[in-house]
Amino acid sequence: MLIDGKQVDSMAGKAATITNPATGEAVAEVSMGERADAILALEAAARAFPGWSKADPRERGDLLRRGAETVRDGIEEIARLLTMEQGKPLRFARREVESSAEALDYYAGEGERISGEVVPVSRGSRSLIIRQPLGVAAIISPWNYPADLLAWKLAPALAAGCTVVAKPSSHTPLAATRFVMALAEAGLPSGVLNLIHGSGREVGRELVESPIPRKVSFTGETDTGKWIMERAARTLKRLSLELGGSSPAIVCEDAEIDEAAAACVQRAFSNMGQICISVNRIYVHNSIAEEFTTELVRRTEQLRIGDGLDPEVDLGPIFSEAQREKTEAHIADAQKKGARILFGGRRPEGEKFRRGFFFLPTVLDRMDHSMRMMREETFGPVAPMMSFDTDEEALKLANDSRYGLAAYVFTADMTRAFWFAERLEAGSVGINTTNVIVPKAPFGGWKESGIGRERSRAALREYMEEKHIRIGLRGD
């Protein structure tokens, strides 16, 4: 762990073994902290805050850029750790680490452009609006993108002038730890960036309940986010919560079928469906359902599955046995209620798959909203389909969810595209694309998919307070 500029073990001497989900083999041992360790980290961040918050934004930006270069220098090591602990293919792990470096570069620049406002002149006085850093920020990141999602939280926090205590997932701490160490090596002052491992019950609880942090940023399950919101309310902490999703994809009768099928396959199965904006529900117009389904299955059949360290594979294992069993339970529920499996739906056969948490990408049709897969977040490699007849029906089905993180529409008619985009209840809408996360656009959810925004300039303001300064003038 990293506390007050020093690499340390937990005070209790506890450790956890991290295993490779593709092989079941031990990868590393990681020190596991408790509440006492979290308190030390928070206190270190609090001591460092006055100096860091007053530092020249250009100085903070220079350190973040230097950190980005240090991360890029270690990209192969970090990516390999990421594949071994999380399972995703190595080429996608490299992309994730590069994205984490991009976050540092992006907010290095944005932090230098923090500005205020001058309120229009009033007789006898002037008003200024300035923005100042909140204080200590506690960051809790998930296991599915352990480097990337951590980076896009701590980069705006540091650029805004906040100090940070980061807790990566205790299931995938290796790449996140190496990323943080690389950033610290760039010359950050002691205590500005702290990293602690541990369980949510111990370390996570302290980060949320302690009066020291003024901000908690969390990505994870909706139920956990609700618990954090309840506990953080006791000290009125600022929150950013990026929670669960059940993203619909609407394929209209005038869509380019090949392109729509390719996009749905990519977003449904990438990272084995373990993405908050994965395509979870596909609604396809009746008139093209058969043709679209044929193309979707054809493309799914071509995906290669195996150990993420194999450069030839497209998909690695599911992250854990619990995630695999949840996927199987959702498929069984759908079948019992009338769904049909068109491809997959089972564990692959063969010796090379015996020890890992492998599962075939799965396509289903004849779905309806009584099935768990259409109501809950499976977080597994599934592409469930049902058909519709009218745009109004498709919209109603798409919005029939407690989640609202992302939605996708495929159509050649831009009038129809805007009709859907303006009515879909989601924080991001992709038209003829399933790639809705870009650095300069805000990202976050509606409904039970969360509150607050990440990425873009909007994320920077999530770590700042606004202050009004009114100045009385003589003789005006």
Distance between CA atoms of residues 78 and 401, nearest Å: 37
Within 10 A of 112 (CB to CB), how many other CB atoms are there?
A: 15
Q: Does domain 2-243+449-469 have CATH number 1.10.357.10?
A: no
Choose among 18, 129, 33, 131: nearest CA to 81.
Answer: 18
Cβ proximity of 108 and 97 under 8 Å = no
Distance between CA atoms of residues 339 and 385, nearest Å: 9
User: How remote is the C-alpha of 444 from its chain's centroid?
Assistant: 10
Residue 389 scores a pLDDT above 90: yes
Distance between CA atoms of residues 8 and 2, nearest Å: 6
Q: Considering Cα of 6, then 60, then 168, then 265, what sign does the dihedral take? A: negative
Cβ proximity of 106 and 438 under 8 Å = no
Q: Which one from 43, 102, 206, 242 is the annotated catalytic residue? A: 242
Output the pLDDT for position 426.
Answer: 98
Q: Considering Cα of 331, then 332, then 333, then 335, what sign does the dihedral take? A: positive
- Give the H or E element holding residue 35: helix 35-54
Residue 430 pairs with which residues in a beta bridge? Answer: 408
Cβ proximity of 282 and 320 under 8 Å = no
Q: Write the pLDDT tens digit of every residue in 229-282.
A: 999 999 999 999 999 999 999 999 999 999 999 999 999 999 999 999 999 999
SS3 388: strand
Q: Does domain 247-443 have CATH number 3.50.50.60?
A: no
Write down the domain spans for the chain: 2-243+449-469, 247-443
Residue 476 scores a pLDDT above 70: no
- The beta strand positions in 333-419, using DSSP E, are 340-343, 362-365, 382-388, 403-404, 406-410
DSSP β-ladder status, 238-242 and 450-451: antiparallel
- Per DSSP, 351 falls in state G
Q: Write the pLDDT tens digit of every residue in 302-358.
A: 999 999 999 999 999 999 999 999 999 999 999 999 999 999 999 999 999 999 999
Output the pLDDT for position 124.
Answer: 85
Residue 168 scores a pLDDT above 80: yes
Residue 214 scores a pLDDT above 70: yes
Tokens standing for 112? 């230098």
Q: Write the pLDDT tens digit of every residue in 272-308.
A: 999 999 999 999 999 999 999 999 999 999 999 999 9
Output the pLDDT for position 286.
Answer: 98
Q: Is 162 a catalytic residue?
A: no
Percent of the chain clearing pLDDT 90 (strictly above): 96
Choose among 205, 101, 56: nearest CA to 439.
Answer: 101
- Per DSSP, 315 falls in state B
- Per DSSP, 275 falls in state S
In the structure, what pLDDT confidence band is assigned to residue 222 with cuts at 50, 70 and 90? very high
Distance between CA atoms of residues 242 and 230, nearest Å: 15
Q: Which one from 43, 253, 276, 462 is the annotated catalytic residue? A: 276
Place of tokens 């991290």: 18
In the sheet with 2-3, reading across from the earlier edge strand, the strands are 6-7, 2-3, 193-195, 163-167, 136-140, 213-219, 238-242, 450-451
Q: Is 242 a catalytic residue?
A: yes
